[in-house]
Structure 1
């Protein structure tokens, strides 16, 4: 009687693409996580690929393993059993963290299975003594329930860059589904494998490989991952800007663009080992230098005001009376421009006043901002803002959600693939509030808002004119109604499409919404 292969039944999702002959992409999460980390990228792949994602043993909703049972044989056999069930013989593998290490092991053992291998924030080289100590620390931690809870809380609050509350809540829910024994079982396996010099193993693989690295990854720092570039000459390396250890959650659109570009590049391309072109080398080196310089910066000021206003300094919210004395408007204006003259401020904020009165009001506003920042930090404001006789200049790195939105629109405008463009536009623009930056009314800012809204409307109309499928058209029309509510054409087209798709209740809602806006 043959010995039964050890495996665990995996919780999974399989979405078939409507396109005949579509290739398959398998998404695998890392230690302590589950397949829901891919929620934002799956819709961006599904139009062109069959997609599979699963919870590894002991994670999410898959069957539990125990520490002794966690082996690559167990994980590989569990994946193989799932693929046999789905009748899949080849695929593109995208793995995160320890899931990337599983992809390497799978490519080693199943040479005909993996077409391309994408490794996101995956440990390739790690310092031995440090990693052994960290492994021992985590083994000690999981033996104490309270310390394990504290470790999970620290991970949740650290791994996602500039995470909103909903993302933190989601990460917290994900980590709470793994038991301490399953967590440490997978973690030990990954660390011990990485300590055996994965660089040599990767060099021997005959499969196109790409590494994606979060710019602000606190677990696998950029400086450490960049060290792999000279030794992995057959592997592409890209940095996902403004993202942490979970770039697929922090920057799903950029993550998807790099991944799709890589997969499509390999399909029918020169498979005899690709190398960087000179242009790509120059671009990547520029990104690396920029990323390292930004990581070295000790201070980061973040201002969010797309919907609600908040100021964050080094990850801590700066609370204060920002609604008084034009503090939020002035702070945002200075951070947006980086450096401004006093004359610019007088002309924009108090154009109707005499110069002396404008000077006094600016002095009062700056003193108010000074008190807020100094009370929060305990440091003099000169550490953060240079205020002199003629100008005001930020001395630290500034990050505004306004700029993120503008960059997102740039990305969508320059996306050539119409289907990808539709998905990106609908996802990002649907998440925006009905009114952008509702707390700002100054003329200079209204011009910026009008410009952004015009670009969003132009993108929506261009996509709509390309005659998308009905569901896509419905979502695009909802976006256009949001940002140009006075145009009756959108309301008429949307109601008509909803009626054609037998969504009568929703059709009545939008008809009544449009009518009520004119009452």
Structure 2
């Protein structure tokens, strides 16, 4: 079973929001949001395979079916709750897959800076090569060199403007990961190894919130495209931020998530 932390709400509520982190992160990604979200819902943070305190066996493939089964085990413990599943980036891809193939019912879905996968076989193969190359860097060069390169990716350039304590906390979280487990995660469920769900997301029949930072134009375009395909979805383009919305504008992220939780509760 995946490692998780449950944070009980400060009010009486049957809502539970599950937060799934991105690559080279862990459950602590959302520490700054727990107090605010707990004023409206119970909160569950999870470590995905190869991250944080996860102890998934190394002799099995951590593909999307495996992760969905592991999420089933955790969510089944909270089956009496109204389950809202949030995923950021890699966690968003997992959340999308679970919405389609998981066995436990979801009340709502929140997708932050993510996609339903790579549409074409050739592009997917190209990304697999990238994932494999990055895995080798982790195994051969080590975590610090990998993190230094990772932080220079254009995807994260907007993090340069964050306050120094926030940047330090993010780097420490990255440096606390296991490079060999991260390498396995890239090879087992990196972007290149996710099946394309573009043709299937039209089947999602629960309320969905899709978030993208205005400075992250690639995912703004993806977010708009997903919104046009998912029937009960709403898109938020968050101004002045990039890929990591929950870090770069924590208050706006909380406002959108809490608004979604409260709205759906009123609709019950």
Count the aligned residue pairs: 260
Is residue 256 of structure 2 the alignment partner of residue 258 of structure 1?
Answer: yes
Asked if residue 133 in structure 1 is aligned to residue 121 in structure 2, the reply is no
Specify the alignment match of 2:69 in structure 1: 77
1:248 matched residue in structure 2? 246
TM-score (ref. length: structure 2)? 0.83
Contact 1:17 1:48 in 2 (8 A): yes
Equivalent residues of 2:135, 2:183 under 8 A apart = yes
Kindly state the Cα deviation for residue 95 of structure 1 after the two structures are TM-superposed: 0.8
Q: Deviations over 1:222-273 (max 9, x none)?
A: 344434443344321111222222111111110111112222222343x9xx
Matches within 5 A, 1:360-439: none
Who is 1:43 aligned against?
Answer: 35
Q: 1:36 to 1:133 in 2, by over 3 A?
A: same
Q: Is 1:155 the equivalent of 2:150? A: yes
Change in CA separation of 1:21 and 1:110 when aligned onto 2, cut-off 3 Å: same
Task: Answer whether contact 2:114 2:219 (CA < 8 A) is retained.
Answer: no
The 5-angstrom pairing of residues 483-494 of structure 1 reads none
When the two structures are superposed, what TM-score results if normalisation uses the length of structure 1? 0.46
Structure with the bigger RCO (C-alpha within 8 Å, sep 6+) is 2
Deviation per residue, 1:147-181 (Å, 9 max, x gap): 76434223235525322222222222222233344
Is 1:183 the counterpart of 2:182 in the alignment? yes
Aligned to 2:51: 59
Q: Which runs of 5+ in 1 are unaligned?
A: 1-7, 272-519
Which residue does the alignment assign to 1:22? 14
Report SS of the residue matched to 1:200.
Answer: coil
Provide the secondary structure at the position in 1 that maps to 2:32.
coil
Q: 4+ residue runs of structure 1 moved beyond 4 angstroms?
A: 85-89
CA distance 1:9–1:266, shift in 2 (3 Å): closer
SS of the residue 2:85 aligns to: strand
Residues 124-160 of structure 1: CA distance to partner in whole angstroms, max 9, x if unpaired?
A: 2536444432331231232233276434223235525
Q: Provide the rounded CA distance (Å) in 2 between the counterparts of 1:130 and 1:184.
A: 20
Structure 1 residue 212, shift from structure 2 partner = 0.6
Tell me whether 1:113 sits opposite 2:112 in the alignment.
Answer: no
Q: Unaligned 5+ residue runs, structure 2? A: none
Report the Cα distance in structure 2 between the residues aligned to 1:111 and 1:238, rounded to whole angstroms. Answer: 28
Q: CA RMSD in A?
A: 2.7
The 3-state SS of whatever aligns with 1:25 is strand
CA contact under 8 A between 1:209 and 1:236: conserved in structure 2?
A: yes
CA contact (8 A) 1:65 1:182 kept: no
SS at match of 1:267: helix
Moved more, 242-251 or 183-192: 183-192
